[in-house]
Chain A
Amino acid sequence: MKKKGIIFSGIAAIVIIAIIASISVSQSVNESLNLDMGQTHGTVSTAMGSPILGSDSAPITIIEFGDYQCHQCYNWFHNTRDSVVENYIETGKANLVFVDLAFLGRDSPKAAAATYCAEEQGKYWEFHDLLYTSQEGIDSGWANSERLKAFAFSLGLDMELFDSCIDSGKFNKRVQFNINEAKKQGASATPTFIIVNSNGQQQKLVGAQPYAVFKDVIDSMI
């Protein structure tokens, strides 16, 4: 009887320790990602999207739904984004959140997940920019796991952490959440932008539109 009691209390102790350990691990993951699950801009949940580029308190938020393999996103990145960043984000008038609509090929979700592995090491935007600078044909191998690891290496990331992050598929659900959110918002092309002001007024822009259009829309909403 005494023996049984010892075994039972031993098992109970192991179970309690396991529960405490799992709670503390999940808390540490949440802390390291610093995700605010309630974060929304207008009607869009941006909780699982990119970190905010620019001032958190900017009156305008530009939400970009994009795919790292999309050549129109590449066009927007290289032709329009710099002017938007220079005139609106760096001046505190607007901020930018990137939400993945990774639908174009098998490497699209991998590339999106890799950006969050880079985010863990504080280099989300550097990785994002590097992907749009290095884009080649859809599923041509430029964004396969090996190349993504090579990009991480070139940014000086901790490769042990990054490799285990990529290989574990840790952020696959986060990317899928973003894809679902993009679809819920009616995005059916990349890039699609939703521009939201502090009153909650929203304007959707579809495609790699020129800077003049962004300027007109943002100025009319400030």
Chain B
Amino acid sequence: MAQMIKLVFADYRYIILAVAIFVGMLIPLSIISEFIFLEPYIIAHIPSGGEISFFLILVVSALSGLVLAMNVYRINAFRNSPKKKMGGGLFGSLIGAAAGACSCGPIGFAVISTFGAAGGIATAFLANYEIPIRLVAIAILAYTYYATVKSLAVECKINT
């Protein structure tokens, strides 16, 4: 596994891509989940009881960066490689991002204002099951990572 990571990230462009995905998920998710506030001035704050939620956001963002960058490498390196695993990575990232993003914030307010009771049920579900949903997202991303590494090992052998 470490070999595959070395192989992919030997090209600095994939490091930049992974970091961009990580930061691009971590900051918006932290803002939505109220770990970062932009007004009246920028401040980061993890309230008591919010540690697990922040840790899960961190893991989802890190795994998304890793998995998506590796899949982009796989697709670029082996043009005829199946793109299904990329979809798994995106799916996991989306689920992880959606959990807890709704509820009390402006997104939840907009969803409930637009869709009424149905929006309310959806946001309530995403808020009430935030941690289990993020754990499912992590499981999907972890499986996608495992499958990607396996696939890369096979494709590298075939192509060398």
Q: Which residues of A come within 8 Å of B, CB atoms?
A: 67, 70-73, 75, 78-79, 103-106, 137-140, 188-191, 203, 205-210, 212-213, 216-217
Contact = CB atoms under 8 A, between A and B. Distances in A.
B48 A78 contact: yes
B47 A208 contact: yes
Given A67-B104, A208-B34, A139 B127 contact: no
Contacts of A210: 43, 45, 47
B112 A103 contact: yes
B45 A104 contact: no
Contacts of B117: 106
B122 to A, nearest CB: 11
Nearest to A66: B104
Contacts of A75: 34, 47, 49-50
Given A189-B106, A208-B47, A105 B124 contact: yes
Contacts, number: 79
B103 A138 contact: yes
Size class of B's contact patch?
20 to 34
B110 A206 contact: no
Given A103-B109, A104-B112, A188-B110, A71 B37 contact: no
Given A72-B104, A104-B108, A138-B128, A205 B43 contact: no
A190 B40 CA distance: 16
A72 B128 contact: no
A139 B104 contact: no
B39 interface: yes
A72 B124 contact: no
